[in-house]
Amino acid sequence: MTATAPRLGPATATPVRLLLVTATLLTLLGTVLSGTASAHAALTGSNPKDGAVLATAPKDVTLTFSEQVAMGNDSIRVLDPSSKRVDTGELQNLCSGNIIKYGVALHAGLPDGTYTVAWQAVSADSHPVAGAFTFSIGAPSSTAVELPEEEAGGGLVGTLYGIARYAAYAGFIVLVGGAAFLLACWPRGAGERPMQRLVVHGWLTLTAATLAMLLLRNPYTGSGELADALDLGGLKAVLETKIGAALVSRLLLLGAAALFVAVLFGAYAKRAVGGGDAGGVDAADAGEGAKETSDLTFGLAVGGTVVAAGIAATWALSEHASTGIQPTVAAPVDVLHLLAVAGWLGGLVAVLVALYRTPSVERTAVLRFSRIAFVSVVVLALTGLYQSWRQVGSWSALTGTAYGQLLLVKVGLVVVLVGVAWISRRWTAQLAESAAPEANAEAEAETKAEGLASDDEEADAGADAGADPESDPESDVPAGSERAAQLARQKAAVATARRKRVRDADPARTGLRRSVLAEAGIAVVLLAVTTVLTSTEPGRTEEEAARANGGAQEAAAVPDRPVDFTLPFDTGGSTDGKGTVRLSIDPGRSGANTLHVWVNRPDGRPLDIPEVKVAFTLTAEQIGPLPVVPDRIATGHWSANSIQIPLPGEWQIQITVRTSDIDQTTVDKNVKIG
């Protein structure tokens, strides 16, 4: 028998089972983390502000977001201290240009007290966002409003939705990467049952996960109740959204993918497996058959690429890439990124299955995949660099935000994965160098197994079957009998065991199997981190929201303390035109305060003047001037009770001192009020 191409033999399936268990555990971990991750649209401003104390009731409440959101009439609710709704329930779309603002009108005549604003929306990249804040009219009061403790998209529904998201990514990677490996690297593998099951399971996983996400979408972005997954009205509302359209489009594309899989494992598998044996076939017929096989391969490659790109686009056009800066560039880049991930990691899973579960895989198939994996890594590096810049935007966001930190973890895992892949390439090269002698050894083993069995081989076969080979020789067994079939199976088992011993004796194959298994394990962790990353607010968005709220946050950090300062004045009058004015505000925070003003001569004695006025201006929020006319308490002393400072921040305080009918001046000072 002539020497056949060197092959990689099967081994125990225990490492594969261990990998699947590890994948399941990491899936649960990833979904738990993703359920608590921040959403992608951020509230950048509101009117009234959080914690504001207003002198009079506002006419409406408005919210400003960092990106486009989807809201309904019940998305903004304003509740009084007794938890009764005081808004009209009609959403106002106040968006203009790049300003994303929504509001709701309030009923007239609201009494004093603390009011709660609870809001919920869906960001443009399909993730639910929610929050709440309070403001007060007149003075703060106790409130009976109880807000849900769970974050938007959390709880059981959030966990199930996260599992479905992870499964969808995994199914896509296995489906696309496995099919690409068979078409580009190992056409004969299309006839192997384990490879067929791998790709079909990828299709089934992606389809089931997409259906689950479609049903869970309504409770995931709304009530959070699992029973609402069967609400037809909610499902109809989901279908009218961008993510609903993307999920339906994915299901339609999966129908085309099913046809692709059927052809791949039907007509293509028959031609790929039988095409190598052209003995007894006319040369013209063989050439025509080769052309048909080539045309079928080309058609599957083109059609499969289009379908795979379309499925990838259902993510790109409904999640991160569809919002933020440069969406027209980000969407195709995201598609390329997903296809490169599938080509690398999905092909890696296919190689792993081929190494452990199939009778043999050609050395040339591993070499071809090694080259494809290298190209995929280059594409991943380029597209990932662009995506990182787009989503992070600065070095501070890379280290100071949850998204940036997760991205660093992902980059670290990719570096480790590339390192292990380099080791696999080394083993593959050694496998190529040792291919010829091993092929001869394998051919010799197959020749012995297929020839007449030797005495020790017959003894081994008889022992396995519980029969004596001398009393039941093969020559006495009628052809086509049950005993003949049993002996044929025993011979095949002996030949397989012999081939396995020959292959396992090669350290290059053993090293390759172990390194590929390590690659697949790291890939499982990488996919879990990626799933969490897609549910985390981008660093650029988080920093922009922080900058938008920076003034208020800085002011809120000012400790509560009385504001007390002294300023000199000079009205220009000939008599008692000079002196100092001292102002005190207690307790020096937003809300009700007590104001005291003292006016003294240069020598420190009280100065009795006709009038003192005070005004407050918050330039950053364009509030004011808010005038205050204090009452005269004693010589050189004025006071005002319950003056309202609506917001914390850096206020400009102007003090007007009039020493005669025509002589007056205004002095001012900027102070921080917490």
d(CA 393, CA 532): 19
Question: Which pLDDT tens digit goes with each residue over 68-109?
Answer: 788 877 889 999 999 899 999 888 888 887 788 999 999 998
pLDDT at 179 over 90: yes
Is the CB of residue 453 less than 8 Å from the CB of residue 491?
A: yes
Q: What is the pLDDT of residue 503?
A: 52
Q: Would you say 536 and 555 are in contact if contact means Cβ atoms under 8 Å apart?
A: no
Average pLDDT over residues 571-596: 85
Tokens of 271: 């031609």
Cα(525)–Cα(532) distance, rounded to whole angstroms? Answer: 11
Residue 79: the pLDDT is 92
Confidence at residue 449, expressed as pLDDT on a 0 to 100 scale: 43
The residues near 279 (Cβ < 8 Å, ≥ 6 apart) are: none
Pairing, β 578-586 against β 563-570: antiparallel
- Is the pLDDT score of 258 beyond 70? yes
pLDDT at 522: 75
Looking at per-residue confidence, does 211 or 430 come out higher? 211
DSSP states of 544-596: HHHHHTHHHHHHHTSPP--EEEEEEEE---SSS-EEEEEEEEES-SSEEEEEE
Task: Decide if pLDDT at 171 tops 90.
Answer: yes
Which residues have a Cβ under 8 Å from the Cβ of 205 and sit 6 or more positions away? 167, 168, 170, 171, 174, 175
Taking residues 161-167, report their average pLDDT: 89
Most confident of 191-200, 588-597, 636-645: 191-200
| Cβ proximity of 112 and 137 under 8 Å | yes
| Residue 453 pLDDT greater than 70, yes or no | no
CA-based angle 405:410:415, to the nearest 5?
Answer: 125
Q: Taking Cα atoms as reference points, which of 374, 385, 375 lies closest to residue 333?
A: 385
* pLDDT on residue 306: 95
- Of 410, 430, 413, the residue nearest 520 (C-alpha): 413
Q: 122-126, 138-142, 493-497 — which is least confidently predicted?
A: 493-497
pLDDT above 90 covers what percent of the chain? 22
Predicted pLDDT of residue 639: 92
338 contacts 311 by C-beta, under 8 angstroms: no
| Most confident among 242-256, 378-392, 515-529 (mean pLDDT) | 242-256
Task: Classify residue 31 as left (phi > 0), alpha (psi -120 to 50) or beta.
Answer: alpha
User: Would you say residue 64 has pLDDT above 80?
Assistant: yes
Q: Are strands 611-618 and 649-658 parallel, antiparallel or unpaired?
A: antiparallel
In the structure, what pLDDT confidence band is assigned to residue 648 with cuts at 50, 70 and 90?
confident
Instruction: Give the pLDDT confidence of 628-639 residue by residue, as tens digits.
Output: 889 998 889 999
Q: Residue 524 in contact with residue 26, Cβ under 8 Å?
A: yes
Sorted by sequence, the CB contacts under 8 Å of residue 283 that are 6+ apart come out as none
CA angle 587, 591, 597 (to 5 degrees): 50
**Residue 321: Cβ-neighbour burial (10 angstroms; 0-12, 13-18, 19+):** buried
Asked if residue 180 lies in contact with residue 300, where contact means CB atoms within 8 angstroms, the answer is: no
Span 515-529, mean pLDDT? 71
Q: Which band of pLDDT confidence, cut at 50, 70 and 90, is reported for residue 593? A: confident
Structure token digits, residue 669: 């000072």
* Residue 21 reports pLDDT greater than 70: no
Q: Is the predicted pLDDT of residue 268 greater than 80, yes or no?
A: yes
DSSP three-state, residue 453: coil
**What pLDDT does 536 receive?**
67
pLDDT of residue 279: 45
545 band by pLDDT with thresholds 50, 70 and 90: low
Residue 411: its pLDDT value, please?
A: 78
Q: Comparing C-alpha atoms, which of 204, 203, 233, 234 is closest to residue 216?
A: 234
- The stretches of 100-192 forming alpha helices (DSSP H) are 155-184
Question: How far apart, in whole angstroms, are the C-alpha atoms of residue 428 and residue 363?
Answer: 8
Supply the pLDDT for residue 15: 45
Q: What is the end-to-end Cα distance of the chain in Å, rounded?
A: 91
Lowest-pLDDT choice from 393-397, 415-419, 434-438, 632-636: 434-438
What would the mean pLDDT of 52-74 be, rounded to a whole number? 85
Cα 446 vs. chain centroid, distance in angstroms? Answer: 51
Parallel/antiparallel/unpaired status of strands 637-645 and 591-600: antiparallel
Q: Which has more pLDDT, 196 or 429?
A: 196
pTM, full prediction: 0.62
The pLDDT of residue 103: 92
Strands (E), 479-562: none
pLDDT over 90 (residue 250)? yes
- Return d(Cα 538, Cα 542) in angstroms, integer: 6
Average pLDDT along the chain: 76
d(C-alpha 574, C-alpha 314), whole Å: 81
Among 606, 589, 642, smallest CA distance to 597 is for 606
Over residues 203-234, the pLDDT tens digits come to: 999 999 999 999 998 888 877 788 888 888 88
E strand or H helix at 303: helix 283-316
Cβ neighbors of 493 (< 8 A, separation 6 or more) are 461, 464
Over residues 475-482, the mean pLDDT reads: 58
Helix 242-263 to helix 155-184 angle (10° resolution) is: 30
Given this model, what pLDDT does residue 422 score?
73
Q: What angle do CA 407, 408, 410 make, to 5 degrees?
A: 65
pLDDT, residue 509, reads 60
pLDDT of residue 265 exceeding 90, the answer is: yes
Lowest mean pLDDT, pick from 471-480, 571-580, 639-648: 471-480
Single out the residue of 83, 58, 89 nearest to residue 141, CA to CA.
83
Number of Cβ atoms within 10 Å of the Cβ of 264: 23
Residue 320 has pLDDT above 80, yes or no: no
In this predicted structure, the answer to whether residue 248 has a pLDDT above a threshold of 80 is yes
Q: Is 183 or 430 the better-scoring residue by pLDDT?
A: 183
Q: Residue 445: pLDDT above 80?
A: no
Higher-pLDDT residue of 454, 304: 304
Strand 664-673 and strand 87-93: the pairing is unpaired
Q: Classify residue 670 by its DSSP letter.
A: E
* Integer Cα distance of 400 and 601 in angstroms: 53
Q: How confident is the model at residue 498 (pLDDT cuts 50, 70, 90)?
A: low
